[in-house]
Amino acid sequence: MTDSSPQTNSNNVPGAADVPAAAEGQQQEQRRSGRGERRGRRGDRRNQERDSEWQERVVQIRRVSKTVKGGKKMSFRAIVVVGNEKGQVGVGVGKAGDVIGAVRKGVADGKKHLVKVPLTRHSSIPTLSNGRDGAASVLIRPAAPGTGVIAGGSIRTVLELAGIKNVLAKRLGSKTPLNNARAAMVALSSLRTHKETAKERGISLEQIYS
């Protein structure tokens, strides 16, 4: 009689020496994947911390249209001010078919055009400054501690997100929010500390104060 039991091929059965090697390979792959996940988590945390430092404020949202061959194409324009309240601020403009997309583009545009603002120990600006953009003109003057931000419209938003807490500002000319915000950015970008001014003029710091 013949044996009806299935015969197993000895070549397909892994040896005892091969089993630990395969198990070690799986463990190494798991370790690598675990390290990759940890690095990804650390990168996400760092990105979240960087994003948490910045604050965004929407100054204006308007519905605009563009005349094309088939008629008018409607979209939204958002003016956004981005700042970290530590001396960095930017103004961005974004256009999209929806409001959320326009704001997102405005935030990205504002972070591309950041301005470093020199702040004093009383959270004010070192000197008086003028800025102009189009028909809008802005005058910014330093103030004593406890004064607060005396400004209005989009200029106030720019100054607050820049971290300035004691300042006097006056809007001259046009009332357009975008032009006023950009004029304030021009005024802040032209600010120089007394130390930088003395270095540019080639004189001592004492002669600046005298």
Check: CB of residue 147 under 8 Å from CB of residue 122. no
Nearest C-alpha neighbor of 152 from the set 136, 175, 173: 175
Phi and psi of 121, rounded to 5°? -70, -15
pLDDT tens-digit readout, 24-51: 556 666 666 666 666 666 666 665 555 6
Distance from C-alpha of 85 to C-alpha of 164, rounded to nearest angstrom: 8
Helix (H, G, I), strand (E, B) or coil at 58: strand
CA separation for the pair 197, 66 (Å, rounded): 46
Specify whether the CB–CB gap between 172 and 131 falls below 8 A. no
Structure confidence at residue 16 as a pLDDT band (50, 70, 90): very low
Say what the pLDDT of residue 50 is: 58
pLDDT in tens, 53-68: 899 999 999 999 999 9
Q: What pLDDT score was predicted for residue 193?
A: 80
- Can you give the pLDDT at residue 201? 79
Pairing of strands 149-150, 114-116: unpaired
Give the model's confidence band at 204: pLDDT under 50 very low, under 70 low, under 90 confident, else very high: confident
Q: What distance separates the 2 farthest-apart alpha carbons in the chain?
A: 120
Of 143, 102, 144, 125, the closest CA to residue 184 belongs to: 125
Phi, psi of 116 (to 5 degrees): -90, 120
pLDDT digits (tens, 9 = 90+) for 99-156: 999 999 999 999 999 999 999 888 999 989 999 999 999 999 999 999 999 999 999 9
Q: Are 103 and 117 in contact (CB under 8 A)?
A: no
Region of 163 on the Ramachandran plot (φ > 0 left; ψ -120 to 50 alpha; else beta): left
Q: Above pLDDT 90, what percent of the chain? A: 57
With cut-offs at 50, 70 and 90, classify the pLDDT of residue 159: very high
Q: What do you get for the CA distance between the two ends of the chain, in Å? A: 120
pTM above 0.85, yes or no: no
Of all residues in the chain, what percent carry a pLDDT higher than 70?
Answer: 74
Give just the sign of the alpha carbon dihedral 124, 125, 130, 131.
Answer: negative
